[in-house]
Structure 1
Amino acid sequence: MVAITPDGRLYARHFRASVSSRTVIQALRYFRRQIGTPLLVVWDRLNAHRARATSAFIAAHARDFAVAYLPAYAPELNPEEQCNARVKRALENALPGSVATLHHLVRREFHRLQHRPDMIVSFFRHAGLSVTQLP
């Protein structure tokens, strides 16, 4: 799971399991600790994002998280999709011999992307999003 900010920061939390409400909640806790300010979470309509447990967690932590959902079937509006596409392109010819090696390669590519805030900002522009911070 990846969190990106309009100023070009990237935070990644990798799980070797299916995305579930449990992993979404773990990632939200991690991102909140890392970023340190209340977060606007912009989500697609993945079942784990809309699950009762996830909704209950968000409701219980309303001072830490606000949620906005993207329209259904609109990956072009999600700047995080550009982030994932970039990592996938970097791994197009990779031939990992194990899941552990694949995990290492993915983490390496996300780490490289963390050092390209200009590119992350461009993902927001590509999606046509303008984000301003409230005083």
Structure 2
Amino acid sequence: MFFKLHVYRGRRGEPKSFAWSDYRDFIRMVHGQLGTPMVWIWDNLNVHLQQEIFDFAEEHKDWLVIFHLPPYAPEINPQEGIWSLLKRVLADFAAADLAHLTRVTKRKLKMIQCRPHLITGCLPATGLDLDGLIEAPDIADST
């Protein structure tokens, strides 16, 4: 299962991004809900590189592994494959307005999400090996 945490833009006078402690609390919450060891793949956002995050990961190395991507490495980032699929289906699409684009994009992402073989198909190019970690998708019923 992949999660992508988007930066909170905040209201006037509020912080515009998450602090390291917000990420820590989110990781704890997800771990509490899943109750399983977790692997996090992070880019080089400045807060992802703070020493407190490394200390937290070290304290919880029995259930938490954090991989940091190189500064720019789309070829090893699994979400890039998802965006590539989305771009293909939107290649000849002309939106009437932003609301139309948003609606169609959400619908296409939902279609991808409902076809797990498309998502797992994005992983081999990254070099990630999830054998034994997830069930093989049943593609016989997929369209």
**TM-score, normalising length: structure 1:** 0.61
Q: Relative to structure 2, which stretch is displaced further, 66-75 or 116-125?
A: 66-75
Q: Relative to structure 2, which stretch is displaced further, 105-114 or 57-66?
A: 105-114
- Write the distance in 2 (CA, Å) between the matches of 1:107 and 1:13: 16
Q: Does 1:124 align with 2:123?
A: yes
- Write the distance in 1 (CA, Å) between the matches of 2:123 and 2:5: 20
Contact 1:12 1:110 in 2 (8 A): no
Query: By how many angstroms is 1:123 displaced?
Result: 1.0
Aligned-CA RMSD value = 3.6
For 2:98, the equivalent position in structure 1 comes to 96
Contact 2:8 2:17 in 1 (8 A): no
The structure having more radius of gyration, on CA atoms, is 2
- Write the distance in 2 (CA, Å) between the matches of 1:115 and 1:40: 23
Contact 1:13 1:27 in 2 (8 A): no
- Write the distance in 1 (CA, Å) between the matches of 2:58 and 2:33: 20
1:19/1:40 Cα in 2 relative to 1: closer, same or farther (>3 Å)?
same
1:12/1:30 Cα in 2 relative to 1: closer, same or farther (>3 Å)?
farther
Alignment of 1:35-114 (within 5 A): 35-87=34-86, 93-94=94-95, 95-97=97-99, 102=102, 109-114=108-113
- Write the distance in 2 (CA, Å) between the matches of 1:39 and 1:12: 14
Structure 2 spans left out of the alignment, 5+ residues: 10-15, 134-143
Q: Relative to structure 2, which stretch is displaced further, 61-70 or 51-60?
A: 51-60
Contact 2:43 2:71 in 1 (8 A): yes
Alignment deviations for residues 60-86 of structure 1 (CA, whole Å, 9 cap, x no partner) = 433221122233321111112222444
Q: In the comparison of the two structures, how many residue pairs are matched?
A: 123
Alignment deviations for residues 52-106 of structure 1 (CA, whole Å, 9 cap, x no partner) = 3433332343322112223332111111222244456667755335xxx95x776
For 1:7, the equivalent position in structure 2 comes to none
- Write the distance in 1 (CA, Å) between the matches of 2:84 and 2:26: 20
Q: Relative to structure 2, which stretch is displaced further, 104-113 or 117-126?
A: 104-113
**TM-score, normalising length: structure 2:** 0.58
For 1:24, the equivalent position in structure 2 comes to 23
